[in-house]
Structure 1
Amino acid sequence: MPFRIRPDRSFTAEFRKAVGGQLRDAIHTLEEMPDGKHEAIHDFRKNLKRVRSLYRLVAEEIPEIQEQENGRLREVAQSLSAMRDAAALIETAAHLKAKARNGEEKKALGRIIEALKARRDHMAEAEATIDQKLTKVPDHLKAAAAAVEDVHFNGGPQRHARLVAKGWRKTALKAREAIAQCRNGESAEAFHTLRKRAQDYRAYHAALRPLWPAAMDAKYEVTSSLVDLLGRIHDLDVLCELVEAEPRHFSNADDLAYLLDAIIFHQQEGRQAALERAEEVFADDPREEADRIELLWQAQVS
């Protein structure tokens, strides 16, 4: 089902349809697993991120429901995150290998990949409850789908336009704050915060596409490129954390040295590229941009 909210229709109905559609897609993906277990988990988590983004957009109007559903969906996603994260780390190491700066680094990263695969396989054997968890998740998602039917927005189009504009402005302001923090200290947490706000921002461009399709599509694409850059940075951070937390998986000290050197090099390169892209994505003043969203909304309902 299209992830859209049309301003010329009932806001309550459109919100319920957008959220419910994502949750039904997530349920279908987990029950059918058309591309296998790991891809199903990956896809369902993307559905949940979109839902959580929409709830954040309207949090001012329904704070208690937003807090409840954000907590529910975060917990559900985290319950299945370990195996998907293990696979993502292998993909990250493979990306480093593809960009290896010399033959020795490439060979070392090849051995690192094998170590990460062994870790993933061991986790799969040890995680005896993964299938049991998978069978329970659809019930949690059905409860979330039922909860959205309790969501109701008072007032008319003018009020809804202001609500959406406020949520948009808040996200853009938080993104600008995260960019400043990244430039000041370049901490992993600041870049992770920027990634989450960029994901929200991208979701808003998808959901509110009917306001101005051409402009929303263009901004969606450039924001997606930022999310991808920040995602790779996050994966490098997670891989670095794994090395520190579970060094037993990497017995060859020389290989580990090559890995850490590659991580640092690509972190620095990636962070600079991400900040340049973020400045492009969030170049507009958040207040002025939110005002435009409100005007566009009003124009379609007047």
Structure 2
Amino acid sequence: MAYRIRPCEPFTKEVRRVAESQLRRAIDLLRDQPDGQHKAVHDARKRFKRVRALYRLLGSDARHFRKQENARIRDVAKTLSTARDATALIETTEYLVGDAASPEEIAALTFASNALIERRDRIVAAETDLAQKIASAIDQSGEAIEALEALTLTDDPKKTAKRLSRAWRKRRKASAEALAACHAQPEADVFHELRKAGQTYWMHLSLMRDLWPSAMAAKHDDAKTLVEILGHEHDLSVLTQLINEEADLFGDGDTLARLLGAVIAKQQKLREQALTLADTVFAEDIDEESRAIALLWKAAAEG
């Protein structure tokens, strides 16, 4: 089923439907592993992020449910992150090769990639309980589906519209704060916050796309591009931290210097691109956009 909420249906029913479909897909991926264990983990974690974004649209009438289930799904995803995070660093060095400035820089990136592959393999070998973690994640996902049966929300279109407007405004304010922080003090942690805010906005636009398909699609595409840029930026920040902590992994001084030069140059470019695009993505007035969501929902639900 599509990742969207249909305003023509009761809101509670739609939340249950969307959440259950994402959780069941995560279970299927983790159980069947059609493209291998680590790809299954990676794709299942994407489903968990979608469920958490959906739950951020719930209001105070589901405060306990939202807190409990967000914590459950967050913790499940975290237990599955180790090998995937190590693999992401390998992909980052491969990504950097496309912008390499010299054969020497390519050689440094290749050295780093090989070192990171060996590191990933050591981590995977040491993670002897991954199968148990996957089994636990499947069980927890099943319990999250069962918890949906107890979810009760007000389905009145007017009250639902207000709920969505408040949630939209809260998330847009978080985005604005993160964007302002990136402009004022461009550091890894604030760009990570902007990435998380962008991810939530992108998913909410997907969920709400039936309200105004053409406008939502344009916003969605821009937000998705922003998240992709910030995803690469975040991976570079993580790689920089690893280089600082385990410099011996990355060869002699010259190799390390070339690697850091490639990382810093690309990261600076990505941050500039992200800020320019984010200014556009989040340009609409927060209150006006939040009111528009309420009006569009009410009109669609009552129509």
Calculate the TM-score normalised by the size of structure 2.
0.97
Counterpart in the other structure of 2:103: 103
Counterpart in the other structure of 2:2: 2
1:286 corresponds to which letter in structure 2? I
Inter-partner Cα distance in structure 2 for 1:144 and 1:82: 23
Question: Could you list the runs of 5+ residues in structure 1 that have no partner in the other structure?
Answer: none
Contact 2:27 2:141 in 1 (8 A): yes
Counterpart in the other structure of 1:25: 25
Correspondence 1:34-183 to 2 at 5 A: 34-154=34-154, 156-183=156-183
- The number of residues matched between the two structures is 302
CA deviation digits over 1:134-166, x for unaligned, max 9?
A: 122100111111112211112511000110111
Inter-partner Cα distance in structure 2 for 1:111 and 1:138: 37
Q: 1:246 to 1:164 in 2, by over 3 A?
A: same
Question: Displacement of 1:186 after TM fit?
Answer: 0.5
Question: Displacement of 1:60 after TM fit?
Answer: 3.1
Inter-partner Cα distance in structure 1 for 2:252 and 2:13: 58
Inter-partner Cα distance in structure 2 for 1:252 and 1:119: 17
Question: Displacement of 1:126 after TM fit?
Answer: 1.3
2:63 corresponds to which letter in structure 1? P
Question: Displacement of 1:275 after TM fit?
Answer: 0.5
Inter-partner Cα distance in structure 1 for 2:60 and 2:182: 27
Counterpart in the other structure of 2:267: 267
2:267 corresponds to which letter in structure 1? Q
CA deviation digits over 1:172-225, x for unaligned, max 9?
A: 111011110001001211111111111111111111111111221221111100
Calculate the TM-score normalised by the size of structure 1.
0.97
Inter-partner Cα distance in structure 2 for 1:233 and 1:272: 11
CA deviation digits over 1:93-118, x for unaligned, max 9?
A: 11112210111111111111000001
Question: Displacement of 1:8 after TM fit?
Answer: 1.7
SS in 2 for 1:211: coil
CA deviation digits over 1:214-266, x for unaligned, max 9?
A: 22122111110000000000000111111122334224222111111111111
Inter-partner Cα distance in structure 2 for 1:18 and 1:9: 12
Contact 1:61 1:163 in 2 (8 A): no
Inter-partner Cα distance in structure 2 for 1:271 and 1:19: 33
Counterpart in the other structure of 1:290: 290
Contact 2:229 2:270 in 1 (8 A): yes
Contact 1:181 1:190 in 2 (8 A): yes
Counterpart in the other structure of 1:202: 202
Inter-partner Cα distance in structure 2 for 1:146 and 1:254: 56
Counterpart in the other structure of 2:226: 226
2:2 corresponds to which letter in structure 1? P
CA deviation digits over 1:36-95, x for unaligned, max 9?
A: 112111111110111111111214332221111111111111101010011110000111
Contact 1:23 1:145 in 2 (8 A): yes
Contact 1:6 1:210 in 2 (8 A): yes
Inter-partner Cα distance in structure 2 for 1:142 and 1:298: 33
Question: Percent identity of the aligned residues?
Answer: 43
SS in 1 for 2:294: helix
Counterpart in the other structure of 2:276: 276
Inter-partner Cα distance in structure 1 for 2:49 and 2:84: 15
Q: 1:114 to 1:155 in 2, by over 3 A?
A: closer
Following TM superposition, where does structure 1 have runs of at least 4 consecutive aligned residues deviating by more than 6 angstroms?
A: none
Inter-partner Cα distance in structure 1 for 2:213 and 2:149: 28
Contact 1:233 1:267 in 2 (8 A): yes
